[in-house]
Chain A
Amino acid sequence: MDGYIIATVIKAILVLAVISALAGFGTYLERKVLAFMQRRLGPMHVGPYGLLQLVADGIKLFTKEDFIPNNANRLIFMIAPVITAATAFIALAAVPMLPEFELFGITVRPIVSDLNIGILFVLGMMAAGLYGPLLAGVAQHNKWGLLGAARTAVQFLSYEVVTGLSILAPIMIVGSLSLIDFNNYQAGGIGEWLIWKQPLAFILFLIAGFAETNRTPFDLLEHEAEVVSGYATEYSGMRWGMFFIGEYANMITIGFLASLVFFGGFNDWGFIPGGLAILLKVSFFFFLMLWVRASWPHIRPDQLMWLCWKVLMPLAVINVTVTGFVMMF
């Protein structure tokens, strides 16, 4: 029992450290990839190829004044960024990141807590993460912030149903809510991947995932051209940084979910060992999010609602119904 607790604590700290470092590195990657696609150079001045830009940003964020506006609700204003960051990491607790491996004769299972309803827990926790922007926007006594908060509510109510319904069809096929069962179901190589059985569900899930992490076609919450910086208008320093660590951690989580549920998870992929395979898949989804950001303009809130409720949700319901009939007969 003691060993279990110690192992869990070590895993939790490792996840926290590695993912927040990756989230920081993600900002550098994002600038570089966007620059490459727009035929610019991106950050070049700090260190070779601008690699130390990350450190410079970190120093800036930590030393910047932590400003709280005058009429803001201080307590809620201070809690809000913590909600976003904390829920993003709690969601990662139920994600199996790598296959089991042996270290010093001990079998290590790279998952902090193997819940048997893992996928629902991850989605629920990520949904709770949207309370961060919502509270931040309401508490800061700023019109742009309030608009950002209203858009958060609209966005949440739009995509939430699509996420749930799109993931329901794969759950019906696998017959389990555990992410490890999803992985084992697709153990038979590339032909067994769920993407071939549920292509529509994958596309719906990916679109809803973009809305969930508020990536570009759906980055209504903080679109600079319309609402200054939305919910983050009054934030500075590390509190602002925490919102973005949370957002990048959520991007990584969505990458893991998409690879585990639809793309074979951490099973061996031809000659590539499983651990490397899943990292490649997650990196691809991370890259896809940057790619989409570089190529698509963002849409209006009413267009998002129209898309989610009138196009995606009926498609998801049809998908679930057809899957049910196919499984029954």
Chain B
Amino acid sequence: METFAFYLFSILIIGLFAVTVLSRNVLYAMTSLAAGMVLISGLFFLLGADFLGVVQLIVYVGAVMALYAFAMMFFDATSVIKEKNSSATTVFLLGGLSAVLLVVIFAAPSIGGNLQPLYPSPDGASNPQAVGLVLFTKYLVPFEVAAVMLLVAMIAGIILAGKKMEHRITSSEEENSGEKEMK
């Protein structure tokens, strides 16, 4: 049962991400990206990591939704986009790298047989507790650094967006039209 579910999810995920990369239509690419992200959470559920699965679901549903917003602003989503590959060397290099990666992935099960978990989750701890324990002990510094980076990004975003924050968009238009009439 689990094997069947794993292969089903794997094939679907790989297929959907292939569509993301290969499709020339923004709408197909975005949709298959979102669907693939949602299906990855299925793999987490199969592994018994319910909490991470749901986090994957919530985070990527929101993130891809924001991507959609940008796609809508910049493209006509229903039309086909012309791609241009300027450099053959880049394509060659990337293709070679993917081939090497594939070999590593397929070889991983035979190497991974003698792996030991460095930080096994404590007995009796539920899913979120196990994640929290590791996050706030072993990975505290990366966690804090990530938090600081997000804070920096947020402040930068506010400054970029807020240059004219004292004007309301709707009321400033009225003021402008009023000024023109005065002149």
Contacts and interface: CB of A to CB of B under 8 A. Distances in A.
The judgment on whether A and B are partners is: yes
Interface of A: 71-73, 75-76, 79, 115-117, 120-121, 123-125, 127-128, 130-131, 134-135, 138-139, 141, 146, 149-150, 153-154, 156-157, 160, 164, 176-177, 302
Contact of A125 (B27, B51, B57): B57
B54 A138 contact: no
Contacts of B78: 71-73, 138-139, 141
Interface string B40-84: 000000000011001101100110011011001000011000000
B34 interface: yes
B58 A157 contact: no
A177 B128 CA distance: 9
5 contacts: A73-B78, A117-B50, A121-B50, A130-B65, A154-B69
B57 A128 contact: yes
Contact of B58 (A115, A123, A154): A123
Contacts, number: 82
A127 B62 contact: yes
Nearest to B70: A153
Contacts of B169: 302
B65 A138 contact: no
Contact of B72 (A73, A150, A164): A150
A131 B34 contact: yes
B27 A117 contact: no
A138 B50 contact: no
Interface in B3-36: 25, 27-28, 31, 34
Nearest to A75: B28
A164 B38 CA distance: 18
A113 B5 CA distance: 17
Contact of B68 (A73, A121, A153): A153
Contact of A138 (B27, B51, B128): B27
B54 A117 contact: yes
B121 interface: no
Given A73-B25, A131-B34, A157-B66, A117 B128 contact: yes
